[in-house]
Amino acid sequence: MIEPQSIPLILVACTLLLAMSAVITIVWGRLLSKAPEWLVAAGLVFPAGALIFAAHALAEDEWKAKVWLRGWVWPTDAEGALTVGILQDRLGLLMAFLAVLLGAVVLANRKLIQSSPRRERAAGAVGLGVAGVVLSWISATPWLGFIGLALAIAGGLIAQLCFWDDDERASSTARFAWERFGGLALAIFGACGIAGSRAALVWSTGEAGHANPAVGALAADILGAVFFVGGLVAQFGIFPLTGWSIRSSFSLSAAANPSLIWFRIVLAQVFPAWAAFAALMRLFPVLEGTELMTATALFMVIAAGLSLLSGLLQKEFKNALSVWTAAGFSLASAALFLAGPRAGFSLFLGMSLGIVSFSGIGATLSSADAGSDAPLAPWLRAAALLGIAVATSAPGFISAGGGLLWLEALIASQPAVAVAAAICLGLFSALGWKLFFSVRKGRFSQEASVMSVVLSILVLFPALGVLATGSISGGTLPRTPSPVDEVLPSLMSTLFEAGPHIAEEANFATASGLLWGAFVIGIAAAYWIYRLPKREPKNGFYDRLSAFVASGYRVDDGFAFVLAGVDWVGSHFTAWVDGTLWSRWIPLVLATPFRRAGVLASRADRLIADGTREAVSRVTETPARVLQWVQNGDVQWYLIFALGSGFAILVYFLRA
């Protein structure tokens, strides 16, 4: 019998087996000419079985969260320690299992995998993405979660490498890699700053002994939290990082499978966002009550609003869909920071599943030629309508309850922010319904797979309000004291026992009015935009403004201008260094001391020579004159010297 303490190791081992099967498929999958995706599908069985077993063991222990930790750098109780561990709780197991199911849904669409030029890469990318999400949600510390996020990003990168066949697409893929891996590096840097001033940074489980203290006033804590959250938010691709969504090349040929757009959304956006949101959910207790959390949420609301305005003016379905996806993740993260885990998770899960479902169906409809003989397929339009309803917080789904909780919390504390949030929800609804109106007359493409459509519909079941909240309305009716439409136990109440519930009647009416008003106005605005007659641009103010917004507010041009400015400064600085500093000033500065030293040495030499000559002449002149006088003297001088000599001899002998 497997011991409970060995379950964390089993979870990690099974996840790594999935990642290894994905890597093997990517590297040697071409040798399996028949079906390389079966190797990844077999790898999915391991984490699925491990998650089911872990959930069963957790249920036997009354769903008490468990943490398994091991010191990596320094002991776990030492300051600045880096610790790895596994968190076994209901929320993590649920999201990990949903990731496995979504990976199985993608792999089950064999027509999609087979349509890829490098089908082994496509299958391996799915395995890496699923492994990354599973590892992120079962991680008890950020360090193991970073590995999971890196795997999820790598899956999205490889998914785009499957179609790397021209320079434009190569540039888009390289941009994705720089933005996502750059955000990951920023998050790692921030986590190191937070962990450096405390004991091991461990995600909170809601139980005593496992919660970290909130971020304090230390500069390392504040800066670390800013970099950490900023790196995670960068994974959503919101403003100002919408360039990849707006400018990326992903055109499909007539023979291509239109579900490749769905493949791109799931692998390059949904899986990395799920991995990043796991860290944000776990980080919430550490940041709770800080001004950083509020500031970050406000930034995400503003960024989502700007992204949605740009998305409404996109002409390409795939670009608008990508911007819509990024904005939905941003709004859900803002709800997490402003209203707590239950509101944020409900909104995130509903939006994610709705986006996944609609992208799988809408891509099929959008690519169909309206003039072809393909069937109109009204059931496809109904399925696309269902996906949009789930994503845009329609009544009866989990996203509606999450949006209502968010607005309720804001009305009680920050009414102005509540209005801004409602406006952003309205813009999100408008862009989503605009996408639906643009494909509602599409025909079913013969290159599309019926399996992808059916599986896209099945993805929506976890978002049903009756399954998530226990109420038919999705938790949108007031509790007096319990919802009148509650038919099942609420899963959200068990996942977030300490979280807020729909309770305040005063705030409930206002929040409901804002939510449903935004929902209805969004539909009306989307239909109005869709019905606008198409006209040729005339370079007027409106046309220039529309082009400015549609281009992502020319952020890329701004970055290019900054880079061009840096290049200009660098080139001129180089010319100044080479032409002025190195060629003129440095030789002049270095030559001046030597020249001055030469002049001084010449002067000193002249002075020394003159002084020496004068001194020698003074020393030798007097004796020379005496000798000259002696040599040229007459007899009297000889007599004087003779008498002197005789006198000296006489004195000598007399003394003796």
pLDDT digits (tens, 9 = 90+) for 103-133: 888 888 777 777 677 778 888 889 999 999 9
Q: Are residues 336 and 446 in the same domain?
A: yes
Tell me 79's DSSP state.
T
- The tens digit of pLDDT for each residue in 247-282 reads 654 444 434 455 677 788 888 889 999 999 998 888
Please count the other Cβ atoms lying within 10 Å of the Cβ belonging to residue 214: 14
Q: Which domain holds residue 355?
A: 289-462+508-536
Q: Are residues 577 and 458 in the same domain?
A: no
Q: Are residues 437 and 300 in the same domain?
A: yes
Q: Are residues 457 and 573 in the same domain?
A: no
Structural domain includes residue 236 = no
Structural domain includes residue 214 = no
CA distances from 365 to 12, 221, 258, 261, 545 (A): 40, 49, 8, 12, 30
Q: Are residues 637 and 519 in the same domain?
A: no
Q: Are residues 375 and 424 in the same domain?
A: yes
Contact indicator for 191, 143 with CB cutoff of 8 Å? yes
- Quote the number of domains for the chain: 2
Contact indicator for 171, 129 with CB cutoff of 8 Å? no
Residue closest to 176 by CA, chosen among 164, 187, 165: 164
Instruction: Measure the N-to-C terminal CA separation of the chain; round to a whole number of Å.
Output: 136
pTM: 0.81
Q: Are residues 517 and 618 in the same domain?
A: no
- Exposure string of 115-151, with b = 16+ CB inside 10 Å and e = fewer, is bbebbbbbbbbbbbbbbbbbbbbbbbbbbbbbbbbbb
Structural domain includes residue 458 = yes
Assigned token pair, 621: 């002149």
Mean pLDDT by 10 residues, the chain (656 residues): 73 89 85 75 88 83 74 62 79 90 84 73 89 91 89 89 63 81 89 71 52 52 82 84 64 50 85 92 80 86 87 81 89 89 89 87 60 59 84 85 86 86 91 85 59 74 78 71 65 64 61 86 88 66 59 64 74 75 74 79 79 76 67 62 78 72
Structural domain includes residue 356 = yes
Q: Are residues 421 and 333 in the same domain?
A: yes
Place of tokens 């397929």: 377
Q: Are residues 518 and 605 in the same domain?
A: no
Give the Cα separation of 244 and 171 in Å (integer): 10
Structural domain includes residue 346 = yes
Please count the other Cβ atoms lying within 10 Å of the Cβ belonging to residue 59: 10
Residue closest to 140 by CA, chosen among 317, 7, 292: 7
- The tens digit of pLDDT for each residue in 482-531 reads 566 676 767 777 777 644 444 445 677 788 888 888 888 989 988 888 88
Q: Are residues 517 and 561 in the same domain?
A: no
Structural domain includes residue 580 = yes
Helix H or strand E segment including 271? helix 271-287
CA distances from 71 to 76, 82, 513 (A): 5, 7, 51
SS3 content of the chain, % helix, strand, coil (to 5): 75, 5, 25
